[in-house]
Amino acid sequence: MEGDDVTLHCKTKTSNLPADFYKDGSLIRTEPAGHMTIHHVSKSDEGLYKCHSSSHGESPSSWISVTEKHATKTMLPVSVTPLLTSMTSPNDHEPPPPSSAAPPLFITLVCHLVVFCPYFISTLLMVSLYRHRPTGNTLNQSLTLQTLSNYQSINQSINQSINQSINQSIMCGSLFMLITNSSFNRKLPTCLHGNVPAHPG
């Protein structure tokens, strides 16, 4: 109420503390006993009050309102709540050291190519050699055809000689002898009765 005295106390749970008192952020005065009395308050004394102790920190702000006379006086006690500020070392605000960066994409690609290229080139060479090599079936077929052709030629020549001998035997009868023809290097039958068959060529 206007005209009354208002006392502000700055204390902890156990004792009063020497403190600085502030109104609306401006220092009013310092009180060694930890309490301050405002005599004959008026409307101009309304505002936010707080106190500060060097050993315990700053209290929360409290609003003091002054009412006219014949109205109920409102007095808000002010107490000190020590501020507990955590001490942080300068290193706490530094960013964490960067982790080892991943290798660049280009280096990774080059490493993969160096490892992959020899295998790829070797595979191409093996496929190329395999496709151009002569197959065993082709060689066997060629040798078989050549052998069969030679066999047929020899067989045909033998059959001709046998047929000629049989024909001469029929012409000369059952008794004949073989003589060698120097031109054809084979033996031809010669009749003993003097009828010599004609030699070819």
Q: What does the pLDDT read at residue 68?
A: 81
List the domain range (segments joined by +) for residue 173. 154-201
Supply the pTM of this predicted model: 0.34
Q: How far apart are CA 64 and CA 49, in angstroms?
A: 7
Say whether pLDDT at 10 is over 80.
Answer: yes
Question: What per-residue confidence (pLDDT) applies to 85?
Answer: 42
Asked whether residue 134 is assigned to any structural domain, the reply reads no
Is residue 46 in a domain?
Answer: yes
Residue 201: inside a domain, yes or no? Answer: yes
* Contact by Cβ (8 Å): 197, 190: yes
Q: In 3D, which of 61, 67, 28, 27 has the Cα closest to residue 46? A: 67
Confidence of residue 155 (pLDDT cuts 50, 70, 90): low
Residue 198 lies in a domain: yes
In this structure, is residue 196 part of a structural domain? yes
- Residue 81 is assigned to a structural domain of this protein: no
Domain endpoint, select from 46, 64, 82:
64
Dist CA 123 CA 116 (whole Å): 11
Residue 77 has pLDDT above 70, yes or no: no
Number of domains in the chain: 2
Identify whether 20 is part of a domain: yes
Domain presence at residue 189: yes
